[in-house]
């Protein structure tokens, strides 16, 4: 058994795949199949590709025609709806249009008027979801799976890897990580948590021998104006970024659950986020606004 290590680009970033396999012939085969599965997720759910189910739905926003979705999409929409309820409306897949106000490439604050205009087209209450038919009731509305697409791709790739016979491996898609078993010799994988303020160092590290770690932070995309940071995690009710936490990392069996829980904890802020994660029984590592760390 040899540890094979592959890097590839997809889902808007860098991805890493490691697994133990008995020869390079099979390893190449497995790697190709996993990358294909990731590309399938991207093609199916990407906002940028016109053939995706997301684009098909967005194109019909404000029209009477509802789009019929398949079982996989339906289950993901149900999941997003549940996250919306559990987060008291803060996790909202219709909030993607706020990128028109916040693009983080210029250190300029958007106008409040633009934000108000965009907020008028945000809200799960403006969605018509009668399984399997989905419709955005207002023109100008959009749904976006970007908030959990990568985490879902990790779970899907894990499922495929296991079915292909991998018993020891590690998947990391843009920082969303999932372990398949331990290292071959039984030792767990060591996962570093990125430091939210110093990109060349780590905040801490954890060892896992199965399950997922996903992180959400204010350092992925942001602008800083007058010493104040405005990050890409936006409150869909106010249209403004959250400012309470530097980063949240969550552990769960599923990367999808870990990632969405981390995002919701960021959206809730320090006190409510802590309670939210505690109620779910999920372990986490959190760094608040002033850099103080919490582990449970």
Partner 1 sequence: MKKNKDKKQRGENNKLANFMAAAMAIPAVASSISQAQGPPEHSSIRLQYSDYQDYQSNQDRISIKSPMLWVDTAIAERTEFEGSIVLDSISGASPLYLDTVSGASGTGIDDNRKAANGLITQYFEDFSLGIGGVFSTEDDYKSRGLNIETSIWTPSKNTTFNFGISANRDDITSSNNAEIDESRTTLNFLAGISQILNSRSLIQTNFTYSGGNGYFSDPYKLNDNRPQSRDLGAILTQYILYFPAEDFSLHVDYRFTHDSWGLNSNMFEFSIYKPLAKKWLVRPSLRYYTQSNADFFQYSYPPRNLNQFYSADQRLASFGGLTTSFMVQRDLSQGFSVDFELGFIQQRSDFRPGGGSDNISPFYARFFTVGLTKTF
Sheet holding 176-180, edge to edge: 2-10, 13-21, 169-173, 176-180, 211-217, 245-252, 284-288, 293-295
Which residue lies nearer to partner 1 by CB, 8 or 104? 8
Which residue lies nearer to partner 1 by CB, 183 or 197? 183
CA 53 – CA 135 distance, rounded (Å): 12
Any contact of residue 130 with partner 1 (CB under 8 A)?
Answer: no
Binding partner 1 by CB under 8 A: which of 36, 88, 116, 253? 253
The helix (run of H) or strand (run of E) holding residue 213 is strand 211-217
The answer to whether 99 and 280 have CB atoms below 8 angstroms apart is no
Any contact of residue 64 with partner 1 (CB under 8 A)?
Answer: no
Binding partner 1 by CB under 8 A: which of 82, 202, 225, 271? 82
The helix (run of H) or strand (run of E) holding residue 80 is helix 71-86
Q: Closest separation between CB of residue 51 and partner 1, Å?
A: 20
Select from 46-54, 117-125, 233-241, 255-263 the region that touches partner 1 (CB under 8 A): 255-263
Q: Closest separation between CB of residue 147 and partner 1, Å?
A: 15
Closest Cα to residue 45, out of 135, 151, 120, 118? Answer: 151
Q: Is the peptide bond before 132 cis (omega within 30 degrees of 0)?
A: yes
Q: Closest separation between CB of residue 90 and partner 1, Å?
A: 15
Which residue lies nearer to partner 1 by CB, 40 or 128? 40
Binding residues with partner 1: total (CB under 8 A): 41
Binding partner 1 by CB under 8 A: which of 49, 75, 120, 225? 75
The helix (run of H) or strand (run of E) holding residue 55 is helix 53-59
Which residue lies nearer to partner 1 by CB, 133 or 225? 133
The interface with partner 1 within residues 135-154 (CB under 8 A) comprises 152
Binding partner 1 by CB under 8 A: which of 111, 162, 238, 293? 162
CA 121 – CA 111 distance, rounded (Å): 16
Give the burial class of 140: count Cβ atoms within 10 A of its Cβ; 0-12 exposed, 13-18 middle, 19 or more buried: middle
The interface with partner 1 within residues 164-183 (CB under 8 A) comprises 164, 167, 178, 181
Strand partners for 257 = none
The answer to whether 191 and 208 have CB atoms below 8 angstroms apart is yes
The interface with partner 1 within residues 181-210 (CB under 8 A) comprises 181, 184-185
Look-up of token digits 């602008």:
223
Strand partners for 204 = 193
Q: Closest separation between CB of residue 204 and partner 1, Å?
A: 25
Binding partner 1 by CB under 8 A: which of 9, 106, 163, 199? 163
Any contact of residue 5 with partner 1 (CB under 8 A)?
Answer: no
**E-strand stretches of 62-200:** 67-68, 127-130, 133-136, 169-173, 176-180, 189-194
Residues that bind partner 1 (CB under 8 A): 1-2, 20, 22-25, 28-29, 71-72, 75-76, 78-79, 82-83, 85-86, 152, 155-156, 158-160, 162-164, 167, 178, 181, 184-185, 253-254, 256-257, 261, 279-281
């Amino acid at each position: 058994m040899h540890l094979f290590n592959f890097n590839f680009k997809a889902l808007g970033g860098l991805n890493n795949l490691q697994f133990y396999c008995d020869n390079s012939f099979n390893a190449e085969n497995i790697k190709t199949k996993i990358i294909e599965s990731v590309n399938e997720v991207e093609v199916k759910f990407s906002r940028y590709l016109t053939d995706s189910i997301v684009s098909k739905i967005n194109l019909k926003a404000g029209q009477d025609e509802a789009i019929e979705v398949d079982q996989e999409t339906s289950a993901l929409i149900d999941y997003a709806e549940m996250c919306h309820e559990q987060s008291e409306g803060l996790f909202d897949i219709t909030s993607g249009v706020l990128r028109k106000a916040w693009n983080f490439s210029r250190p300029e604050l958007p106008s409040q008027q633009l934000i108000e205009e965009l907020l008028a087209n945000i809200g799960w209450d403006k969605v018509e979801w009668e399984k399997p038919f989905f419709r955005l009731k207002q023109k100008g509305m959009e749904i976006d799976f970007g908030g959990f697409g990568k985490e879902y791709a990790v779970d899907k790739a894990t499922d495929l890897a296991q079915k292909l016979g991998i018993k020891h491996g590690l998947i990391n898609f843009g920082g969303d990580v999932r372990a398949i078993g331990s290292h071959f010799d039984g030792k767990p994988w060591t996962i570093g948590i990125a430091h939210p303020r110093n990109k060349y160092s780590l905040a801490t590290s954890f060892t896992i021998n199965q399950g997922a770690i996903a992180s959400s932070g204010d350092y992925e995309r942001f602008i800083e104006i007058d010493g104040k940071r405005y990050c890409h995690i936006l409150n869909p009710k106010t249209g403004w970024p959250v400012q309470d936490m530097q980063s949240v990392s969550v552990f769960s069996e599923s990367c999808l659950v870990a990632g969405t829980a981390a995002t919701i904890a960021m959206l809730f802020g320090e006190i409510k986020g802590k309670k939210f994660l505690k109620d779910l029984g999920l372990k986490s590592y959190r760094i608040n606004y002033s850099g103080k760390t919490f582990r449970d």
